Structure 1
Amino acid sequence: MANEPSWDDIFTGQPPTAPAARQAAPEPEPTEFDSFAQLFGAPEEPATPAETLTPAAGQDDAPVSRRAARESAGRGRQGSGGGSRGGSGGLRDNGGPGKRKFLWLKITLPIVLVLGSLAGVAAYGWFTYNDQVRELLGIQLPNDYEGSGNGEEVIVTVRSGDIGSDVARELHEAGVTMTYDAVYDYLVANPDVGFLPGNWQLQKMMSAESAVSALQDSANKVTDRLLLREGISLETSLEVIAETTGLPLDEVTAAASDPQSFGLPAEAPTLEGFLFPATYELDGGETAQGILQMLVNTTIARLDAAGVAPENRYTTLIMASIIQREAGSNKDDFYKISRVFQNRIDQGINLQSDATVAYGTGRFDSVWTEPEERADPSNLYNTYANPGLPVGPIGLPGDLAIDAALHPVDGPWLFFVPINLATGETVFSETADEHQAAVNKLFAWCDASAENATYCE
């Protein structure tokens, strides 16, 4: 949704006992060796006679774990003349092995600790900033999967008029391909590839080549399940129905031309908003009229289940359709957007939804508009120039959008704008100045890459 002052404001719509003589001695101060044992969690044990460390016959070369060797060495030093506890043997003999071992430990331990810390920092940095580290080191990041998928089915929709960039984005967002670029680059290298509208059964984690090839194989086209996605327009819905069922588009369009024959309210000029977005099982014998009636009946049933009175069905669908088109993937944003529109209605402020303006101009897949379009009151879907709700729904709302229309969350916002169209991250604001700052972030995001730009057309 754009801010009120101008449309550089876009649309309103993110870790054994020691000898007796030893026992009578006063308790000595701990040394570095004690700290080392405590540091690694070694249990405090009574001093062990040195002879218990002598290997059994035939086991001189038996392998010993590093921890066992460390603990054995510690007990030996403690038992040979007091060792680290300040006795008169072992560590106090300048030429004895205890002194040399302890000196080695004093030198090595800090190195080990420093290297361990550095390794931990390095590991954290690699896993947290993998992409940035790779870029800094000049290591090329992979942008494509290998093979033909991981076996997890996913349905993707190709719409009438979709071009290569649209298909590349659809495949990436559905989890089929690793990146947008992998598909786009493949299509640039293979300019003769074309696509047929409809729903297609693919898998997640496919290479760009295998995904595009799958879209050329009619065996992957879904004909026994009708899938309508939230937010698509009536026009696109009729195309998907025709492509899925094999019914002629003209026949489907003709059946949809008489909305009142499906039991719609008199004020509804079309079936827009009344074809519930979901997946439907087909047996292949359905008629166009029968399919459309099934979809309308599903919408009425969902509205009834949500507690919507018959006389409020149409206005509820209008509001829900705008929320559906303006919201991203964040569930909470649906309820916040609903609040923004309700606050504007309560305060007598025009909704100023670019999605409604674009719909009225015949662009059903865009929320970008021009100043002259927003200034045209003859467009009855223009919520900049006309107060209140538009004359009808602007797409197919799902259950979430319907619920949001009925239950807006509490909040003071009057503006909203997505600042990342790929993730749907949205900023909600109370003032026009706050909103304009968020709009500037959106423009910067659109300019950041060629892929981002495809969302901003």
Structure 2
Amino acid sequence: MSRKRKGGCLGVVFKLFVLLVLVAAAAAFWLWQRYDGFADAPMSGIENGEALVVASGDTVPAVVRKLREAGVVEGDSLEWRALARQLGAAGRLQVGEYELKPGMTPRELLEMVRDGRIVQRRFTIVEGWNIRELRAALKRVAELEQESAGLDDAALMKAIGHAGQHPEGRFLPETYAYTRGDSDLDVLRRAHEAMAKALDAAWARRSKDSVLKTPDEMLVLASIVEKETGVSAERPQIAGLFERRLRIGMRLQTDPTVIYGLGAAYDGNIRKRDLTTDTPYNTYTRPGLPPTPIAMPGVDALNAVANPAPGDHLYFVAVGDGSGRHLFARTLAEHEANVRAYLQNYRKARQAESQ
């Protein structure tokens, strides 16, 4: 073969090689553009309120299948796996529920799942709820596993690790975060622990001359103060008034305890026969504190009982104007005058409502 022909063949081979390199480069560039456009392009098919649930053992292809079921069509399995490797998400998918938002990109979604930014839901225990109201509210939360269904109060307390303890007043009114897979018992455990800490802290700060003998007595009185007023500034006054009654042996005579003792029989009205019918919770017929709390007291009520306001008031009655405030009195005569004022204000308020 002549040198000329040999040189010509080498030239053709070189040109083919260069062509192949250019084609490969173009293909790589096209693939990169497609991949880059996929990673940062908003996903279609997502509506407000949708969620992605990553279960234990889920891989990237499993997540992609769930996204397809949710209506996401962008990207093939190869692109999703490549993006997951680039972001360090492959093999690090965190179990939980994730909020899908319209306009989010595949990159944002995989970073969210990699970092475990799961949906945080919230449940609020309201100050003054009793255990029946608390359990009914928990039952309405569809996202919580209902593990307490069928348990009576005693079995419930045993299930959360406090067998033999009465449940009333034992759960601190606060807002608690929970995630998918949590149960109603999980929330109750956290609320019980929070109340135990709040009660310990209030007991440690109590007035040195407190008439209360135990933290449980403080919890009982705080629950009464919680139910007697929704006006935060009045709680120390009412706590001080009840302390003085306990100290001199005067009966508490507080309607909320009577109402609690009536239970489901209470129809919204408290009658004279209710005040004279003896129950363990009737503080008109029995001296001292009732046997258990009557509601869930908040931190303000606990602090009020720990450090009640000084004074010599022994009586109080609602103002009757709808404000929730009270009139305080030192003597029975002053109190009876306040009661007359209350009745007058109450009638005026009712007349205004009817007009």
| TM-score, structure 2 as length reference | 0.58
TM-aligned CA distance change 1:232 to 1:452, over 3 Å: farther
**Counterpart among 322, 326, 332 of residue 228 in structure 2:** 326
Q: Report SS of the residue matched to 2:327.
A: strand
Q: Is 2:259 the counterpart of 1:358?
A: yes
Q: Distance in 2 between matches of 1:299 and 1:255?
A: 21
Which residue in the other structure is 1:418 paired with?
318
Q: Which residue of 2 aligns with 1:242?
A: 139
Query: Percent of aligned positions with the same letter in both sequences?
Result: 26
Indicate conservation of the 8 Å contact 1:256/1:289, yes or no: no
Per-residue Cα deviation, 1:291-324 (whole angstroms, up to 9, x for no partner): 2111101101112232449x93321110000000
Task: Please tell me whether residue 407 in structure 1 is matched to residue 321 in structure 2.
Answer: no
Contiguous gaps of at least 5 residues in structure 2: 1-119, 207-212
Aligned to 1:315: 217
What letter matches 1:281 in structure 2?
A
Tell me the residue number matched to 1:50. Answer: none
The residue that corresponds to 2:175 in the other structure is: 279
Match of 1:336 in 2: 237
Per-residue deviation, 1:263: 4.8
State how many pairs are aligned. 228
Shift of residue 410 of structure 1? 0.7
**Alpha carbons of 1:401 and 1:360: their partners in 2 closer, same or farther (altered >3 Å)?**
same
| Deviation per residue, 1:166-225 (Å, 9 max, x gap) | xxxxxxxxxxxxxxxxxxxxxxxxxxxxxxxxxxxxxxxxxxxxxxxxxxxxxxxxx921
Aligned CA distance change for structure 1 residues 450 and 420 (closer, same or farther; 3 Å): closer
SS at match of 1:257: helix
- How do 1:49-448 residues align onto structure 2 when only pairs under 5 Å count? 224-247=121-144, 251-252=148-149, 254=151, 256-258=153-155, 259-264=157-162, 266=164, 268=165, 270-308=166-204, 312-329=214-231, 331-362=232-263, 369-377=270-278, 379-420=279-320, 422-448=322-348
Q: Alpha carbons of 1:452 and 1:431: their partners in 2 closer, same or farther (altered >3 Å)? A: farther
Mapped contact 1:255–1:289 kept (Cα < 8 A): no
> 1: distance between equivalents of 2:321 and 2:299?
22
Amino acid at match of 1:278: E
How has the CA–CA distance of structure 1 residues 453 and 385 changed in structure 2, closer, same or farther, with 3 Å as cutoff?
farther
CA distance in 2, matches of 1:262, 1:348: 37
Query: What's the TM-score, normalizing by structure 1?
Result: 0.45
- Measure the CA separation in 1 of the matches of 2:322 and 2:316: 16
Q: Contact 2:276 / 2:284 at 8 angstroms: preserved in 1?
A: yes
- Separation of aligned partners in 2, 1:416 and 1:380: 23
Structure-1 residue corresponding to 2:48: none
Distance 1:300 1:439, change over 3 A: same
The 2-side partners of 1:250 and 1:285 are apart by 11
> CA 1:312/1:252 → structure 2, altered by over 3 Å: closer, same or farther?
farther
RMSD (Å) for aligned C-alpha atoms: 3.0
Structure 2 residue aligned with 1:209: none
Structure 1 residues 249, 224: CA separation in 2 closer, same or farther (over 3 Å shift)? same
**Per-residue Cα deviation, 1:347-370 (whole angstroms, up to 9, x for no partner):** 111100011001100169988521
The letter of the residue matching 1:285 is G
If asked which structure has higher relative contact order (CA below 8 Å, sep 6+), I would say 1
Once residues 150 and 352 of structure 2 are traced to their aligned partners in structure 1, the CA distance between those partners, rounded to angstroms, is 34
Secondary structure, counterpart of 2:252 in structure 1: coil
Pair 334,304 (structure 1): closer, same or farther in 2 beyond 3 Å:
same
Q: Following TM superposition, by how much is the alpha carbon of 1:288 offset from its aligned partner in structure 2, in angstroms?
A: 2.4
1:131 is aligned to: none
2:176–2:187 contact (8 Å) kept in structure 1: no
Q: Deviations over 1:351-407 (max 9, x none)?
A: 000110011001699885211111122x10000001100011111100010011111
User: Cα gap change, 1:435/1:250 in structure 2, threshold over 3 Å: closer, same or farther?
Assistant: farther
Q: Aligned with 1:380: secondary structure? A: coil
Cα separation, 1, equivalents of 2:352 and 2:253: 24
- Which amino acid counterpart does residue 302 of structure 1 have in structure 2? A
